[in-house]
């Protein structure tokens, strides 16, 4: 029989930054909160595992019928790589820090090795996930990996919100860890900093206004949000950047080459390549995941060019101004007006 401390020690040896254990019970309260927010219209109309099968999302046993424990892990992803947003005057679109590389796949590989190690000592049935089909944040909270910030992102006591999560769901019965008693207190830095006021109240996000969420979604962006889009191509981390729990984050050398994209991508290239080339060039990264529309990425590029400006951008914008796709034409016409009026 393997002991939980031995599991945690092996996890550290495999480069997993923290690992805690919780029970494989469903999250009825969290599911009810989700349904309330859905009813309030706080989700955008895109395919999402929440919306397709809510029951299974909030129950780890949907992935392993006889599951008894869930090992919840995190990987810290702040590296010492420079953030280069402009080279030789070429306009670039920013990529959110968590997806410069595919830390989810990296963590999943580490967890798979850990699961094999455990199974050689205590035979078990298991499944491994990272950014998978179950509710990772509630699992992280219940296991003690972290606690919810008011931006609804999990905060680790040492690594802040700069983590990705992963799990081993198993039929082994292991001693669970206790949840943390930490919380944000009176701090509202993330609420005040959100450029679109998407954090309606502590722990309640209006995803129809969240830029992080909208960069994944294929549809026209409201004008007031376009005005504060800046040069984002994928993702938004403003609420994390101002969080006091993240201010002392110390970068380290990168640990994986899986799905490397980097801090930015040339916008002219995004607007001249086809979808096949895009998915080939940036394979194994979240920005080419099956639920990410290439059309949404091109729309994001047009909005970013609208903010960067410059006469060189006009021909690239104009080619989309009369697109039959309203999402692209809407963004291009806005960007064209902004650049030509500057």
Mean pLDDT within 181-210: 97
User: Which class for 136: exposed (0-12), middle (13-18), buried (19 or more C-beta within 10 A)?
Assistant: buried
CB-facing half-sphere around the CA of 309: CA atoms within 13 A? 7
User: What confidence tens digit (pLDDT) does each residue in 103-136 have?
Assistant: 999 999 999 999 999 999 999 999 999 998 999 9
* 263-308 pLDDT per residue, tens: 999 999 999 999 999 999 999 999 999 889 999 999 999 999 999 9
What is the three-class DSSP state of 116?
Answer: helix
Please write the tens of the pLDDT for every residue from 288-298.
998 899 999 99
Alpha helices in the chain (DSSP H): 4-13, 28-39, 49-52, 54-57, 103-121, 136-143, 189-193, 211-214, 223-226, 238-241, 267-272, 275-281, 294-308, 314-321, 326-341
pLDDT at 207: 95
What does the domain layout of the chain look like in residue ranges?
4-78+100-170, 189-341
């Amino acid at each position: 029989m393997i002991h939980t401390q031995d599991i945690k020690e092996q996890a550290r040896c495999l480069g997993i930054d923290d690992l805690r254990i919780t029970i494989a019970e469903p999250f009825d309260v969290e599911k009810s909160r989700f349904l309330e927010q859905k009813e309030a219209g706080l989700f955008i109309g895109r395919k999402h595992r929440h919306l397709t099968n809510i029951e299974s999302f909030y129950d780890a046993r949907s992935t392993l019928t006889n599951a008894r424990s869930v090992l919840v892990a995190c990987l810290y992803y702040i590296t010492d790589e420079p953030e280069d947003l402009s080279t030789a005057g070429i306009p670039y679109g920013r990529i959110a820090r968590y997806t410069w590389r595919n830390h989810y796949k990296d963590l999943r590989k580490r967890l798979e090795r850990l699961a094999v190690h455990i199974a050689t000592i205590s035979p078990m049935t298991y499944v491994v996930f990272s950014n998978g089909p179950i509710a990772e944040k509630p699992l992280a909270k219940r296991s003690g990996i972290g606690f919810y910030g008011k931006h609804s992102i999990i905060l680790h006591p040492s690594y802040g919100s700069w983590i990705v999560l992963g799990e081993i769901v198993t039929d082994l019965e292991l001693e669970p860890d206790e949840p943390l008693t930490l919380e944000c207190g009176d701090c509202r830095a993330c609420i005040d900093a959100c450029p679109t006021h998407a954090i309606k109240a502590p722990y309640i996000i209006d995803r129809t206004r969240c830029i992080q969420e909208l960069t994944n979604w294929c549809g026209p962006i409201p004008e007031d949000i376009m005005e504060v889009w800046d040069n984002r191509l994928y993702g938004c981390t403003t609420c994390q950047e101002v969080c006091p729990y993240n201010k002392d984050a110390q970068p380290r050398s990168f640990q994986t080459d899986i799905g490397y994209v980097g801090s930015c991508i040339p916008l002219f290239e995004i607007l001249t390549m086809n979808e096949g080339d895009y998915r080939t060039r940036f394979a194994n990264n979240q920005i080419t995941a099956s639920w990410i529309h290439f059309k949404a990425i091109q729309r994001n590029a047009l909005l970013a060019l609208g903010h960067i400006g410059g006469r060189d951008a006009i021909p690239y914008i104009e080619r989309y101004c009369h697109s039959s796709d309203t999402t692209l034409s809407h963004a291009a016409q806005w960007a064209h007006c902004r650049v030509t009026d500057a």
